A and B are shown apart, each in its own frame.
Chain A
C-alpha cells in the first residue's frame, strides 16, 4: 500500500483523529497492514514489544497467564481500539498476552521506527505520548472499576 493510502487509513482511525496531516505522513512510513487469524498470538508477556496496533476490525483478547490456571482475559479490544503501549516505554516488553479471538485486521506500527521519529521531532513525540496517555488513563480507570467489584454482594437480607 502506498504511504498516501496508509496516511488516509491512519487518519480514519479514532486513535489518530485530528492528528495533523504531516504527522500522519511520518507515522505512515512506520506502518503496515496486518491480518491475524482467529487464535493467532499477537504479543506474549515478556517478549520484545516492537510494534503496536490500531485495530480496524475483529477482536483481540488481552490476558494474563497465571501458572496452573487457565488464561484469564482482562479486556477485549475491537475496532477503534489500540493494542500495545509497551513499545513506548523501556524495557519495551509486552506486559500481557494478546490473542486474536476473531480474524483481526489492524495497522501495525514499528515502535523502533516511530521512537526514532519522536526523538527527532519532540512535537510529534508529545502528540503521540498524549494520545497514549489518554488510553492509559482510560485503562487505569477501567481497571479501578473492575477492582471495585461492582457486582459484589452489597445486600445481606
Chain B
C-alpha cells in the first residue's frame, strides 16, 4: 500500500509540543475513512513515516491528526504549514467499539496525548447522548500547559448533556484552579456503576496500567476495559513484526485491545 499525497488544510498549535493538522487528499481517489481509535501512517517525504491516531472524525473526507513532536519525523509533521504535503496510508487497526458501550455507563480516561484518539469517542457520545448511561471523561496531563484540546474540554464541561468531565494535572502553579493529582484519583471520585461500565483508556502504558488497576478496584470487570497500545508500527499490515507483542500484532490486532489481552503482554519484562 503506497502513501497517498494529502495537502495540509489547517494547522492548530495545541501545546508547546503538540500540533493538530487537517489534511485532505490531493489525488482523485475517494477519501480515506477512519473510525475512532484507528490510525494512519503519515509519511514525511525523505524523512520517515509514523503511526498517528485520528483525533477527529470529519464527514468531508478530511483527516484530523494530532501529533506530539518527540522525534525527527513527528517534529517535521508538527512543523508543517497549510499547503504542505504529507503522505498517508491507512486507516489501520481496530477502533474503539463505541457501539458496545451503548446502554452502559462509559468511563473515558485520556492521559496526555492519549486524549487524541479518544476525542472522537467523546464527540460521538455527545452526538448520541441518549444511547449511553452515565458518562465520565477523565483527563490527565503533566502540567496545565500540557493539556491538549483545552477548548474542546471546556465545551464538554459546559454542555448540558450530562457528561462529567474532570481534568487533573500532576503538578501546577498556584494560579491553576483545578485538580492536582494523578489521573487515577479522578477514577475513584467519578460516578458510575461498575457492573454496567465500559472503560476506554488511552495514554502512556504505565498510566493505563494504573488506571486499569483503579477501575478494577472499583469492580469494573477487566473484560470491559479497553486500552490503546502504542508500539513501533512500521509496516502497519502485520508483516514486519516491529509492533509484535506475543501473538499480537498491535498494528492489525490493535491498537485498541481488551485489557485482559494486553496487560499480560505489557507485564513481560524487557520489551
Residues of chain A having any CB pair with chain B under 8 Å: 59, 61-63, 70-76, 78, 80, 99, 101-102, 142, 145-146, 148-157
CB–CB B206/A150 < 8 A: yes
Q: Which residues of A contact B184 (CB under 8 A)?
A: 142, 145
With contacts A150-B140, A152-B142 known, what are 15 further pairs, Cβ within 8 A?
A: A63-B174, A72-B173, A73-B176, A74-B171, A142-B181, A145-B206, A145-B207, A149-B142, A150-B170, A151-B113, A155-B71, A157-B50, A157-B70, A157-B71, A157-B72
User: Can you pick out 25 interface pairs between chain A and chain B where the beta carbons lie within 8 Å of each other?
Assistant: A59-B179, A63-B174, A70-B173, A70-B174, A73-B172, A73-B176, A74-B180, A75-B180, A76-B178, A78-B189, A99-B174, A142-B185, A145-B182, A145-B207, A149-B170, A150-B142, A151-B142, A151-B146, A151-B203, A153-B70, A155-B68, A155-B71, A155-B74, A157-B50, A157-B72
CB–CB A73/B173 < 8 A: yes
Q: Which residue of B lies closest to A149 (CB)?
A: B142
Q: Which residues of A contact B98 (CB under 8 A)?
A: none
- B119 to chain A minimum Cβ distance, whole angstroms, is 17
- A98 to chain B minimum Cβ distance, whole angstroms, is 12
- B226 to chain A minimum Cβ distance, whole angstroms, is 19
- A41 to chain B minimum Cβ distance, whole angstroms, is 12
B interface: dominant SS: mixed
- A142 to chain B minimum Cβ distance, whole angstroms, is 5
A interface: dominant SS: loop
Which listed residue, A72, A74, A76, A150, touches B179 by the CB 8 Å rule?
A: A76
Q: Which residues of B contact A72 (CB under 8 A)?
A: 171-173
Whether, in the assembled complex, B79 has its beta carbon less than 8 Å from a beta carbon of chain A, the answer is: no
Whether, in the assembled complex, B141 has its beta carbon less than 8 Å from a beta carbon of chain A, the answer is: yes
Q: With the chains together, A7 CA to B2 CA distance in Å?
A: 71
- Nearest first, the 9 A-B pairs at minimum CB distance are A151-B112, A150-B207, A156-B71, A157-B71, A151-B142, A76-B180, A71-B174, A145-B182, A153-B70
Whether, in the assembled complex, B153 has its beta carbon less than 8 Å from a beta carbon of chain A, the answer is: no
Interface string of B106-117 (1 = CB under 8 A from A): 000001110000
Q: Which residues of B contact A73 (CB under 8 A)?
A: 171-174, 176, 180
Q: Which residues of A contact B178 (CB under 8 A)?
A: 76
Q: 8 Å CB contacts to A: which residues of B211-245?
A: 230, 232
Q: Which residues of A contact B210 (CB under 8 A)?
A: 145, 150
Q: With the chains together, A62 CA to B48 CA distance in Å?
A: 45
- B80 to chain A minimum Cβ distance, whole angstroms, is 16
Q: Which residues of B contact A102 (CB under 8 A)?
A: 177
Q: Which residue of A lies closest to B203 (CB)?
A: A150
